[in-house]
Amino acid sequence: MVVGVCKINLFMEEAFSLKEKRRILKSLIERLKSRFNASIAEVDLNDKWQTSVLGIACVSNEGEHVDSMLSSIIEFVENDGRVIITQCSTEKIYV
């Protein structure tokens, strides 16, 4: 079993309040969950109105599949015009 973990730091130029930030994040997270079979949550910087950290986890029986899934998720977030990725890290854990 292989567990893939990804941490993505985001910057949102068009968010000028926590309410706007939550709207953007909720939409992005729901779109990611419906497209990819992964667990996604905001894990840090909850009270900052233009920055956020998303935590993403997925499980597979092959490391290549985990790599492919995480890179597809990162590409999807990069192509979303509402957010900018400022930092990204991934890790695979073999259990």
Q: Domain limits of the chain? A: 2-94
> Tell me, what's the pLDDT at 73?
92
Which pair of structure tokens corresponds to residue 61? Answer: 């029986």
Classify domain 2-94 by CATH architecture: 2-Layer Sandwich (3.30)
- Give the mean pLDDT per block of 10 residues along the chain (95 residues): 93 85 90 88 82 91 89 90 90 90
For the purposes of burial, counting CB atoms within 10 Å of the CB of 35, is it exposed (0-12), middle (13-18) or buried (19 or more)?
Answer: exposed
